[in-house]
Each structure stands twice: as structure tokens, then as C-alpha cells.
Amino acid sequence: KILTVEVVFLERVYSECSSISQMILKKQIKRSPTGKKEDDANVSMRSTVSSNHPNHPNDSNHPNHLSHSNNRRRKSSGDGLFCFLAVLVVVSAGNLYIGSVLHLSDFTKRYVSRPDTAAEYGTLFGADSKLQRSIRGFFHPEADVMNENGIVRGGIRNQIEHFTHNHHAELPDTEHHIDPGHPKSLEHVLRAVGIDVTAEISKKLVGMDEVIDTYFGREKGKDGVKILGLDTCQKFQKTVDPDKAYVGPAGMFNTGTNLMANYLRNNCVLPARKKKYGSTGMRWQAPWGKHTPATWRFKNVAVTGAADVIQSDFFPVVMTKDPYTWMSSMCRHSYAANWPHSKKHCPNLVANDEDDYFDNGSPVAVNIRYKKENVTHHSSLVDVWNSYYLTYLKADFPRLIVRFEDVLLRPVEVIGKVCECAGGELLKGDFKYVSDSAKGTTGAHKDASGLTEAIIRYTNSSKRIDDFQEEDLSYAIKNLDAGLIDTFHYFVKNN
């Protein structure tokens, strides 16, 4: 771009200088020594007289002629000098800028990006140094922060996922975050992770307009990621000793709790705990149980690795998911949920001829056995989703509620905000994406979705309700909690 500007400017300067020179030459030819214009005939006659009369004022040896000739030379020289200086300034400035950018890029590769020299040079010249922030802020807040993969060098850990489009959300925190907006396309999301997007995969991906309309909306200020509980961050940081804090996921089955756990373990650290105990402070689950309701806090201890955890020191990141795709996921992997269902009819919210144990038209009840001795009863899958998230939404302790869809599409931004909220920092180095199934592929997690399959499955507005029969869809739309649907933008049209 700089070279293009230089060429265009030089062409303009050359054109202007040529015009000025021609104009001056014409004026010099057509003016008499007294400054009055003459026609061509008079000029020709005066030239003839000059050649025959050596003492004529136009004679080259006449003093007056020499004086006017010198003035014309000085004027012409001044205009030429101005053009030359203008060209020199532009070329020098452009080359200086290009050279500086290339040198800074080479310097970054040689010193700032290397593990053995990053600590020494990163503070002074790194992407989040005062120098680099000043440069970015001078030219454009986001101009010098995106590489070829769309990863931003800036924000909480020098990296925030940055994909530009014409529909940005408002900045939630200008001091620590650059709002990246939505991905330009789903192909960009996959390529940023390092996945080779083949033509076959590309055919299965929907456009970003469809994704935005489905999960984000177009209302300014409400069209970004949906994270509830950011107002509880300060309370947690003030009431819990930093070196005793923990962070980890909670949430209903099939909502991405393992995905969140992997992202936190790979990218987040609580500095005070790391300094004192050598651990990052990231845990696999809430100490009262990863999938158990919020009401079990202080009343239950998870079977694995929770006996030594003070539950009030734990900051839960509660994962939620589009209830329509969640109910279809429960049909494939029901975990501890029990209700009569079949491949022919599921989600079966309202009984029909395929449901043997219920009268036609009645809701299909669901039981969840969190423990052998503790079973919860629900009127339907809709009731399971409603009751679980309403309890966490109304909880009086610090927590975040994060959408699975945001983690899927904008993980760097979401994990950065989650980590910062708990008093943590993102680890140095490149952000570590999770592209394979976070659940694993064996046992209860067999056939779990990897990133590519998940994006294909969970971003298509039609596929999200493909498994619903008309009566079940109508029941879901009518009975899903309106406040939760509005808060998380999980609307669906009943055609």
C-alpha cells in the first residue's frame, strides 16, 4: 500500500511540475521585457529586429535582456527545487516506514518470539509493550495487530481472536480487550485452528450471516458473546485469597464442560497460586460436581479430586448450550438422564404412538440420577434445562455462565475474559486450540464431535431443529423459559 501511494504521488508531482514548467515557458515567450503580452506576429517581428540591431533591448548582449533572463532562470530553478524536495521527502518517508516495518518484523522473529530471549526483549519491544501499543494506537487501534491467520497480538495476553466484519459489538473493556467482532467465515475459524478446509468441508458450512442471525442477533451492543456474571468477578477476587483460588467448569451434560476444562488448562494460570504452589489453579470440575445443580454447593463433594478443595475458593465457569441442539445431543448421549425414548422419536417432549409408557399428548418425564441415592425428577427435557440454568442464574455466589457456541466460534476472546475474571492470566506463547473431541472417543464419549463436525452441526439454523416433530417443537417454544431464551439469544421460529 505504501509503494502504491508513493507511485501515485510521484506521478502527481511529475505531472504538476511538468505543467508548471510548461506554463512558465509559455509566459516567458509571450511576455515583452515590460511585462505586456504580445501576439505571435509581434514576437516574430521583435525577434527579427533583435537579430538586425545588436543594441536592441532583446539582444542577448543587452544589459536589460540579461537581467530578465537571470530572473527567469532563478524562478525556474526555484520551482524545480520544490518539486525535487517534494519527491525526496515522500520517497524517504515511504522507504523509512517500509524499512522500519521489515526490520521490526525480522527483530520480532529473531528475539521477541524466541523462548530464550523473549523475556529480555519482549518487555521493551513485544506486541504488548508500550512501544507497540503506541504505534498501534497512533495509526489505528487494531491496524497492526492481526497476522495472516487472523490472530491478534494485543489484549489480555497479546492475543485475541480478530476477525473483521461489518457488524461489531460494543467494546466491553477497552483497557484489556479488543472486541474482535464475528469471524469473517466459518472457514476462517477452522483455518485459525490449523484445520485444512477442503472443498467437501466448505460445502457443509453455512454463511456467517446465518450464524449471526441465529446466535447473536443484530441489536447493537447485544450482538457479541454472551457471558453472564462478569459483575461477580471483583467479588470473587476480593473475597478469595489469590493463592488459594481455583477455576474450572460446571454445566449440564453435553454442554462443552470438557472443552472449557481443556481450554483453561492449556491457556490460563492464576499467578499467585502458581508462585506459591507451582500449579495453575485450573481444575477439571466444580468440587460439588461438574454436572450437579448449583444447589449442591456446600452439600456435596465430587468423587474425584475434590476432597481437599474449599468450595468457596472455587470459581465455576458454567457452560450452557442452545436447548434445541442440547436436547438432540441428549438423545445421542443421555449420561445420567433416564427417560423412555427411541431413534424414531427423540427429542420426545410430547408422547405419541412411538412412546409406550405415556398417553399421547402428555409430556415425557425425565429422571436424572446424579448419585445412586439422589435422583431428581423433571416433567420433560425442557424442564431439565430450565431448572438447571435458572438455579445458576439466580445463584448469589460468583460464577460465570458461558455459551458453548461462543467457545466454539470465538475461544480466545471467551477464555481471555474468563481467565481475567477469575484473576488469572493467559499463558505466554500461542493460544492452544482444541480441535479434536474434548471428551475423548471412548466409553460414554464415543462418537463425540471434533471441532469441524461440531461447527457443521451446531451452526446450521435448520439442523438445530431437524430432530423435532411439530408437537415437540411447539412444546419447546412454549415452555422454555422466556428469560433464559432472551438472555442467551436462543430463539427459534416455528414455521
* Residue found by looking up cell 521527502 in the block: 89
Pairing state of beta strands 314-320 and 400-403?
parallel
**pLDDT over 70 percentage in the chain:** 63
| pLDDT tens sequence across 201-212 | 999 999 999 999
User: Would you state the pLDDT for residue 174?
Assistant: 29
| pLDDT tens sequence across 307-362 | 889 999 999 999 999 999 999 999 999 999 999 999 999 999 999 999 988 999 99
Q: How far apart are CA 286 and CA 284, in angstroms?
A: 7
**SS3 call for 127:** coil
pLDDT at 81 over 80: no
Q: pTM of whole model > 0.85?
A: no
Contacts of 119 (CB under 8 A, 6+ apart): none
Contacts by residues 339-348 (CB-CB < 8 Å, ≥ 24 positions apart): 339/364, 339/365, 339/366, 339/367, 339/381, 340/364, 345/469, 346/467, 347/381, 347/467, 347/468, 347/472, 347/476, 348/472
Q: How far apart are CA 118 and CA 476, in angstroms?
A: 54
Whats the size of the chain, residue-wise? 495
Q: How far apart are CA 319 and CA 253, in angstroms?
A: 9
106-136 burial by CB neighbour count: b if 16+ within 10 A, else e? eebeebbbeeeeeeebbeebbbbbeebeebb
Contacts of 83 (CB under 8 A, 6+ apart): 13, 16, 17, 20
Residue 69, sorted as left (phi over 0), alpha (psi -120 to 50) or beta, turns out to be alpha
pLDDT at 85 over 70: yes
Q: Which DSSP string do the residues of 338-388 spell out, in sequence order? A: E---BTTB-S-SB--TT-TTS-TTSB--EEEEEETTEEEEESSHHHHHHHH
Q: How far apart are CA 449 and CA 254, in angstroms?
A: 11
For the segment 472-489, the average pLDDT, to the nearest whole number, is 97
| pLDDT tens sequence across 4-27 | 655 666 666 666 666 665 665 555
Contacts by residues 274-281 (CB-CB < 8 Å, ≥ 24 positions apart): 275/243, 276/243, 277/243, 281/245, 281/246, 281/247, 281/424
* Residue found by looking up cell 450437579 in the block: 292
